[in-house]
Structure 1
Amino acid sequence: MDSLRRSGVCALKLECIFLTAQLRGGFPRKAEAQYFFVKRYANTSGTETWNKKQSTSEYCIASVKKSDYENYLCTLLLPAPVRSTAFAIRAFNVELAQIRDVISDHRIGKMRLQFWKDALERIYSGNPPQTPVAQELYRAVQKTPMSKASLRDLIDAREESLHNKPFRSVDAVEAYSLKAISPAFNLLLEAMKVQNEDLQLAAQYLAKAIGIKTVLRSVPYNLQRGVVLIPVDLLIKHRLSADVISRIGRNVDVSQGMPVTEEKRKGFRDLTAGLVERCDNHMEKAAALIKTGSVGSPNAKTIFLPTVSCRKFINRLKLNNFDVFQPSLRQRDGLLPLKLWWHANIKF
């Protein structure tokens, strides 16, 4: 294992070969296996602006790699005919997700989202904007007809979240996830020309699980921005508040004469445990549906590889006594490429 950890240069070379092969539509199995057996912990180098030296497909790959690394790895393992389409969809989602993080006024966010609403109309009318993501989406739509409604759902979901308001309930988290996450899975199923009710339902359950995982995983990051998205009904149930969670996260025992008691800390762990249990239930239902629904479409199983990273985070959270502030939870899993490859080629 130590030798793998010292193989950064080798991994970087293999990744370059790997990406080149993906763009050409093929890859030697031996080199593919080598790549996924080498730990890759190097920093990503995606670009935020199009430097014109990249092709539009290269831009999308770099964007997903930089901002959505886990889905970047999952997308590399999709069948070659749908890989470019998948990167276009993922890059589109990255563009939308980043809007909330870079704006200080929600009205500016609405303007940026309006650009993408207009861009969708132009894409489907044959006149896409001259931006790399729009160009790649246009190529994807020309290659395989995809639902404009699903792409629009991705935009509408981000518009709903511009104000950074806490979710009213767990049901609200799941409803948001069905619009912000599930459409991407549905679009990939369309790209594979798979029409299966079990897999469509599996996409919904997995989207709910990923949505809950994302709320938990993003707690430390959001607190730095003064945002708490934990469902309000759960805060009330466990007698917590955004201020208490903030002080737990900053490890502040006393603020304005009010101590953060062990009872409050336990209350937040109990809240987290309840969300983890709900997430587990969704993943179990999704797994059962994927097993039955993919009988006639075995390649479709690779669409659901994000299950692996979701499950990994939830298991690590359990091992850390449901403490979302444990630094180890924010460390990248260097063996994730290997685990994804194993699931895609063996376990699935």
Structure 2
Amino acid sequence: MTTDFDHAADVVRQFDRDRYLSALLLPESLRPGVMALYAFSAEIARIRELVSEPLPGEVRLQWWRDLLEGTEHGAAAANPVANALLQTIETYRLPRQGLVSMIDARVFDLYNDPMPSLNDLEGYAGETASSLFQLVCLVLNDGKEADTATAAGHAGVAYSLTGLMRALPWHASRQQIYVPADIQGRHNLDPETVFRGLTTPELKAALAEMCGHVRHHLTRVKKAATDVPHNCQPAFLPLVLVRPFLEKLEAPDFDPLQQTAEISQLRRQWILWRASGRVFDRL
């Protein structure tokens, strides 16, 4: 019989393969709760793809907000991801505000407004990816607080920025760009050239700066790793894929608008498996 948690795992497998593969390496008893969190993240992240204009997207996000705040009037029982999420919140006593903040951050995705600054981008990454790392740590630690916030904060920025650079062709095709305006300005990047699919030296310079920020945050994660309890460390498994993706993005012949930085699923599984016992050594 298929459960709500089985459905949540299917959502993660379909829409967030890297996190799905990493979750398979977690202790079996903890896997359902982690999958529920990943499924929630995937569902709110893909709302832009399900709507033709921002207002219906805001309505969908409001449904999730109402669900978490206890004011949802629709049939939550008909949504297996919602059910799995609510059960996970109750089992591990998870703070709902972190999940609500994830929803609030995703409003930005519905519009084509420019990301104002690197600081704003890091804030966006903190509310989405960093919060998710932190919540998974709570599940792995049976709902108990641990000293994981610093590592989770930097991990989320590194993971999110890498994902956004990999998604550049996709975002550009819909007239959206997550390269912050201050980085664009430093390298004289005209976003219109990005929307036209033109890979310019200015774009490559801007992305090189972003890659540098990713590497900086990976270094900060490793410095904070000594504070992370051993049982929470598997929460950071998805992060070990960042460096291999960076190598693709930084290759001299890589075209960031015509290609997607990709590695095979077999290699991803091998990287994750190899790192499963010593995550921070593989960053």
Which of 113, 116, 137 is residue 85 of structure 2 equivalent to? 137
Where in structure 2 are the equivalents of 1:7-156 lying within 5 Å?
Answer: 54-122=2-70, 129-156=77-104
Aligned-pair CA distance for 1:250: 5.2
Counterpart of 2:188 in structure 1 is: 239
CA contact (8 A) 2:12 2:35 kept: yes
- Residues 123, 79 of structure 1: alpha-carbon distance in 2 compared, 3 angstrom cutoff: farther
- In 2, the alpha carbon distance for the partners of 1:326 and 1:106 equals 27
CA contact (8 A) 2:164 2:178 kept: yes
Correspondence 1:289 to 2:224:
yes
Q: TM (normalized to structure 1)?
A: 0.74
Correspondence 1:196 to 2:167:
no
CA contact (8 A) 1:74 1:340 kept: yes
CA contact (8 A) 1:123 1:134 kept: no
Aligned-pair CA distance for 1:329: 1.6
- Residues 162, 327 of structure 1: alpha-carbon distance in 2 compared, 3 angstrom cutoff: closer
- Residues 83, 320 of structure 1: alpha-carbon distance in 2 compared, 3 angstrom cutoff: farther
Q: Which 10-residue stretch deviates more, 183-192 or 330-339?
A: 330-339
Counterpart of 2:108 in structure 1 is: 160
SS in 1 for 2:266: coil
- In 1, the alpha carbon distance for the partners of 2:71 and 2:87 equals 9
Aligned-pair CA distance for 1:146: 0.5
After superposition, what is the alpha-carbon deviation per residue over 1:138-178, rounded to whole angstroms, capped at 9, x for unaligned?
22123211011111111111123321322111111101111
- In 2, the alpha carbon distance for the partners of 1:235 and 1:324 equals 15
RMSD between superposed Cα atoms in Å: 2.2
Point out the structure with max Rg over C-alpha: 1
Counterpart of 2:178 in structure 1 is: 229
- In 2, the alpha carbon distance for the partners of 1:330 and 1:123 equals 41
Consecutive unaligned residues in structure 1, runs of 5 or more: 1-52, 252-264
Which of 266, 277, 283 is residue 345 of structure 1 equivalent to? 277
Q: Which amino acid aligns with 2:92?
A: T
- Residues 246, 128 of structure 1: alpha-carbon distance in 2 compared, 3 angstrom cutoff: closer
CA contact (8 A) 1:173 1:211 kept: no
Consecutive unaligned residues in structure 2, runs of 5 or more: none
Aligned-pair CA distance for 1:328: 5.9
Q: Which amino acid aligns with 2:270?
A: L
Counterpart of 2:206 in structure 1 is: 271
Q: TM (normalized to structure 2)?
A: 0.90
After superposition, what is the alpha-carbon deviation per residue over 1:190-240, rounded to whole angstroms, capped at 9, x for unaligned?
21235333x210100011112221221111111222222221122222222
- In 1, the alpha carbon distance for the partners of 2:163 and 2:260 equals 16
- Residues 232, 322 of structure 1: alpha-carbon distance in 2 compared, 3 angstrom cutoff: farther
- In 2, the alpha carbon distance for the partners of 1:123 and 1:341 equals 41
- Residues 202, 182 of structure 1: alpha-carbon distance in 2 compared, 3 angstrom cutoff: same
Which of 130, 134, 153 is residue 186 of structure 1 equivalent to? 134
SS in 2 for 1:104: coil
Counterpart of 1:310 in structure 2 is: 242
Correspondence 1:220 to 2:154:
no
- In 1, the alpha carbon distance for the partners of 2:193 and 2:93 equals 49
Equivalent residue pairs, number: 276
- In 1, the alpha carbon distance for the partners of 2:12 and 2:58 equals 23
CA contact (8 A) 2:248 2:262 kept: no
Correspondence 1:298 to 2:222:
no
Q: Which 10-residue stretch deviates more, 106-115 or 159-168?
A: 159-168
Q: Which amino acid aligns with 2:146?
A: N
Q: Which 10-residue stretch deviates more, 105-114 or 326-335?
A: 326-335
Q: Which amino acid aligns with 1:61?
A: A
Identity of matched residues, %: 26
- Residues 331, 288 of structure 1: alpha-carbon distance in 2 compared, 3 angstrom cutoff: same
- In 1, the alpha carbon distance for the partners of 2:155 and 2:256 equals 21
